[in-house]
Amino acid sequence: MANVKYISASRVYAKDTPPAVDALDLDINDGEFMVLVGPSGSGKTTALRMLAGLEPLDGGRVEIGGRDVTFVPPKDRDIAMVFQNYALYPQKTVAENMGFALKMQRVPRADRDRRVREAARLLDLDDQLLDRKPKQLSGGQRQRVAMGRAIVREPQVFLMDEPLSNLDAKLRVQTRSQIAELQRRLGVTTVYVTHDQVEAMTMGNRVAVLTGGHLQQCATPRELYDNPVNQFVAGFIGSPAMNLQAVPLAEGGARLAGGMLPLPAAVRTAALKARLSELVIGIRPEHLHLTNGSPDADGPQQPRATDGSWELSGEVMLVEELGADALLHVRLADGGDPVVARAEGRKPPAPGQRVTFRVSPDDVFAFHPETGARLAG
Amino acid sequence: MAVVEGVAAPAPKVRLRPRGVSRREQWQRRLPLLPALIYIIVVTQIPFVVTLWYSFQNYFFDIPGGAHFTGLSNYTTVFTNAAFRASLVRSVVMTASSVIVAMILGMAFALLLDRKFLGRGVVRTLIITPFLVMPAAAALVWAGPMLDPNFGLLNYLLTPFGVHHVAWLSTHALGSVIVVMIWQWTPFMTLIVLAGLQGQPADTLEAAKVDGAGALATFRELTLPHLRPYIELGILLGSIYLVNAFDAVRLMTNGGPGTATTNLPFYLYQQVNYAFDVGGAAAAGVVTVILTIIVATFALRMFARVFQFDEAAG
């Protein structure tokens, strides 16, 4: 077990192209479950492969347990990796697959068998499966064998490259919690790559959000959700995604849906300092609270002085029923992109109905329209 | 949480049958194949039937009176003839040694070619050329410019090492013929093994690296088992072709010196063209064909089993 450090680590695939990973600085604590998340092409897998030693570094360093491993071949890094397509050895049985690393370490056969069986038990793999070839297994079983191959090693670091992406939705959710639970039990430092922000949020102790080879933010899931540092993180974390809209600035606030959205003084100051005439505001779907009272059809929305929240209204275009709740696609009074709101599932408004939402000013994020940086609020 | 399985309604028991294809339509589909089929029958099956018929006849070109039935006496001669047995053994030695060495070399070349380097395309094409040269031309080039005792390239190249005027085709006849066969068949083996290597998933090799396997261990534990069906295919096809090798023997050594390089095809050729023994040659030919069929069937069956196993596993 060990901590992992990326020190301005870079990887350039081809000359004259932007780096796949650009000066990545990341500290992963001993025993931590760190999730690298980002859209495809964000450099998350490359970053993982750099740690595995499968991808050379074009700059910077990588350390495992305080040891500089930048030029150490993969086999000497004491890591175990779970690949996206599992990469099981097709000609070997399950037991041979799991015990391969130990065989390479010249662990005696009896010892090897014992450890393979222990790992199999840990993963609920039947003993009779141990003699099968990978192709005779189901997708879920193969995934567990791939996990088993990593566990048997008792390595310093687990690396997992989208290990759940080949499972069906139900199995994915189930396995997600099993992996997180297993990691907590084993206490091995884990770096986990995924493009699925739900996986990232539910599994990681901390989550590093990457895009375009740059680290955007590395924080706990809660912190990412509550305090995204920029528009990208805000839009990426959370499902359904945050509603982001460019709005013109006006005296004392921003103009939205025919009304005036009051902005905190700090945001106004920051916007003024940057000489912005408009900014991007973001509101999460779950922060648009449906009010029962419908306002006058064409009445202007006004902030309610009483509790500081304000209201905005629009027409429901589409309702997506999810069971527990429903997603409303609402066109606001002034047109523009529809916003998505989360409503209680039992009695959602029908399409065509006019609705009013109440929003607390604390739940409104403001971003710089060009840089995407969060305007302090 | 309990999982409620979806309850599927029992499927109605309707037998699915492929839509009927009329006899006429079936023939229309086969029609384009017919010319090829007729050609194959004319050039292979009819001669074989004729050979079979001759094998029961006493028929010498140089003895007047034509053919007459002798029963199994030609076959008795074949099985008691030491020359036939000797050429059978020679055929086996020739085929086995050239196929095995060609496979080992082919594997080595394939491993070297299975990486990116400047001019890979050119090198690959050059490697393949010996296979594209027709066997008779290859035999002539080797017999003359390469192995000639006085003017041969090989002797010239070996001069600095104290080798002078070796008459390769007289002193090392069998070896020389085998070398030419290896030279011709190594590219074929290279191609087949290279195809196998390129079919090996890259991520398992990466997994092996992470699992701590060095290059040698990776080859022994993963690459070789993966290549097994490809190696078997190469050996099978190579054997089927090389057991029929005639060009190199006829053009380089003419079966000699003595009978040093007389393999089965050349023995049959001699029986007809030097001994004029049509009946004996036919009987020997039939025995050869039967032996070849037995070996090929076993090889193919083993081969099919390997592939089926792979598919059952897949």
Which pLDDT band, with edges at 50, 70 and 90, does A308 fall under? low
Please state, rounded to an integer, the average pLDDT across all residues of chain A. 87
Contact of B272 with chain A, judged by CB distance below 8 Å, is answered with: no
Run of H or E including B69? strand B68-69
What number of other Cβ atoms are within 10 A of residue B61's Cβ? 10
Instruction: Give per-residue pLDDT as tens, B10-64.
Output: 555 566 656 666 788 888 888 899 999 999 999 989 999 999 988 888 888 888 8
Model confidence band, residue B2 (pLDDT cutoffs 50, 70, 90):
very low
Decide if pLDDT at B9 tops 70: no
Query: Considering only CB atoms, which chain B residues are within 8 Å of A80?
Result: 210-211
Domain boundary among A218, A236, A254: A236
Q: Which of A236, A270, A290 is the last residue of a domain?
A: A236
Q: What is the pLDDT of residue A305?
A: 43
Helices (H) and strands (E) in chain A, counts: 9, 20
CA distance B117 to chain A (A): 16
Please name which of B138, B171, B179, B161 lies closest in space to residue B256, comparing C-alpha atoms.
Answer: B171
Classified as helix, coil or strand, A312 is strand
- A375 within domain boundaries: no
| Model confidence band, residue A298 (pLDDT cutoffs 50, 70, 90) | very low
A81 to B204: CB separation less than 8 angstroms, yes or no: no
pLDDT of residue B1: 42
Q: Does A105 touch chain B if contact means CB atoms closer than 8 Å?
A: yes
- What's the rounded Cα separation, in Å, for the pair B233 and B193? 10
Q: Give me the residues paired with residue A210 across strands.
A: A215
- Looking at the 3D structure of chain A, how many domains does it have? 2
Which tokens sit at A326? 């429903």
Are residues B204 and A87, on separate chains, in Cβ contact within 8 Å? yes
Q: Is residue A192 part of a domain?
A: yes
Q: Which residues contact A176 (CB under 8 A, 6 or more apart)?
A: A164, A199, A202, A203
Residue A260 is encoded by which pair of tokens?
Answer: 């005036």
Q: In what order do the strands lie in the sheet with A157-161?
A: A79-82, A157-161, A189-194, A33-37, A206-211, A214-219
Residue A82, chain B, CB below 8 Å: the answer is no
Interface of A with B in 149-178 (CB under 8 A): 149, 153, 159
- A48 part of contact set with chain B, CB < 8 Å: no
- The rounded distance, in Å, linking the Cα atoms of A321 and A46 is 38
A270 plus A138 within the same structural domain: no
User: What's the one-letter identity of residue B47?
Assistant: P
Residue A300 lies in a domain: yes
Cβ neighbors of B41 (< 8 A, separation 6 or more) are: none
Residues of chain B neighbouring A91 (CB-CB closer than 8 A): 222, 225-226
B-chain CB neighbours of A90 within 8 Å are 204, 226, 313
pLDDT tier at B208 (50, 70, 90 boundaries)? Answer: very high
Domain boundaries of chain B, sorted by first residue: 57-313
Q: What pLDDT shows up at residue B77?
A: 86
B210 and A133 in contact by Cβ < 8 A?
no
User: For B217, which of A85, A87, A104 is closest by C-beta distance?
Assistant: A104
Q: Could A135 and B226 be called an inter-chain contact, meaning their C-beta atoms sit closer than 8 Å?
A: no
Question: Residue B185 above 90 pLDDT?
Answer: yes
- Residue B299 · residue B236 · CB < 8 Å: yes
- Same domain membership, residue A361 and residue A345: yes
CATH number at residue A267: 2.40.50.140
- Domain end, chosen from A215, A236, A257, is at A236
Of A80, A83, A133, the CB nearest to B203: A83
Tokens (6 digits) for B149? 């005792």
Q: In what order do the strands lie in the sheet with A310-321?
A: A289-291, A354-359, A310-321, A325-332, A339-344
Helix (H, G, I), strand (E, B) or coil at A246: strand
Is-contact A130 A119, C-beta < 8 A?
no
Instruction: Please state, in angstroms and rounded to a whole number, the distance separating the CA atoms of residues A151 and A230.
Output: 37
A73-132 per-position pLDDT tens digit: 998 899 999 999 999 999 899 999 999 999 999 999 999 999 999 999 888 888 888 999
Helices (H), B162-263: 168-171, 173-198, 202-210, 215-218, 224-242, 247-248
Per this entry, what is the length of chain B? 314
Contact call for A54 and B206, based on CB within 8 A: yes
> Looking at the complex, does the CB of residue A91 fall below 8 Å from at least one CB of chain B?
yes
* pLDDT for the residue numbered B14: 61
Interface contact flag, B211 A100, Cβ < 8 Å: yes
State the smallest CA–CA distance between residue A174 and chain B in angstroms: 11
Q: Does A180 touch chain B (CB under 8 A)?
A: no
Give the minimum alpha-carbon distance from B314 to chain A in angstroms, rounded to a whole number: 5
Q: Is the pLDDT confidence value at B132 over 60? A: yes
Query: Do B313 and A133 count as a contact with CB atoms less than 8 A apart?
Result: yes
**What whole-number distance in Å separates Cα of residue A80 and Cα of residue B212?**
9
d(CA A12, nearest CA chain B) in Å: 19
Domain identity same for A213 and A284: no
Say whether residue A85 is in contact with chain B using an 8 A CB cutoff: yes
Same domain, A106 and A176: yes
Nearest to A104 among B204, B212, B313 (CB): B212
Q: What's phi and psi for A292, nearest 5 deg?
A: -75, -40
Residue A106, in any domain of the structure: yes
**pLDDT-based confidence at B182, cuts 50/70/90?**
very high
Say what the ipTM of the complex is.
Answer: 0.81
Whether A372 is covered by a domain: the verdict is no
B306 interfaces chain A, CB cutoff of 8 Å: no
User: In terms of domains, do A140 and A43 share one?
Assistant: yes
Domain of A126: which CATH number?
A: 3.40.50.300
Residues of chain B positioned with their CB less than 8 A from the CB of A85? 201, 203
Q: How many CB atoms are located within 10 Å of the residue A170 CB?
A: 10
Q: E-strand spans in chain A?
A: 4-11, 21-28, 33-37, 59-64, 67-68, 79-82, 157-161, 189-194, 206-211, 214-219, 243-250, 253-256, 259-262, 278-283, 289-291, 310-321, 325-332, 339-344, 354-359, 364-367
Phi-psi bin for A22: left (phi > 0), alpha (psi -120 to 50), beta? beta
Secondary structure in 3-state letters for A2-31 = CCEEEEEEEECCCCCCCCCEEEEEEEECCC
Torsion of CA A226, A377, A229, A158, to 10 degrees: -30
Judgement on whether residues A345 and A326 belong to the same structural domain of the protein: yes
Helices (H) and strands (E) in chain B, counts: 16, 2
B residues 180-239 lying closer than 8 A (beta carbon) to A = 201, 203-204, 206-214, 217, 221-222, 225-226
User: Which comes out higher in pLDDT, residue A377 or A372?
Assistant: A372
Per the CB < 8 A criterion, the answer to whether A32 and A41 are in contact is no
Question: Are residues A119 and A193 located together in one domain of the fold?
Answer: yes
Report how far residue A363's alpha carbon sits from residue B136's, in angstroms, rounded to the nearest whole number: 86
Look at chain A and count its residues. Answer: 377
Q: How far is A11 from chain B (nearest CA, A)?
A: 18
User: Contact, B74 vs B279, CB < 8 A?
Assistant: yes
Confidence class for position A307, pLDDT limits 50, 70, 90? low
Residue B238, token pair as written in the block: 């190579």
* DSSP-based three-state secondary structure for A337: coil
- Residues A33 and A31: their CA atoms lie apart, in Å, by 7
- Mark yes or no for CB contact A75/B314 under 8 Å: no
Is the separation of the CB atoms in A288 and A303 below 8 Å?
no
- Give the residue numbers spanning the domain of A13: 4-236
Q: Which residues contact A223 (CB under 8 A, 6 or more apart)?
A: none
The continuous run of DSSP H or E covering B103 comes out as: helix B82-113
Chain B residues inside the 8 Å CB shell of A152: none
Note if the bond before A303 is cis, omega within 30 degrees. Answer: no
Q: Do B213 and A79 touch (CB under 8 A)?
A: no
Identity of the residue in A87, A90, A105 whose CB atom sits nearest the CB atom of B212 = A105
CATH topology of domain B57-313: MetI-like fold (1.10.3720)
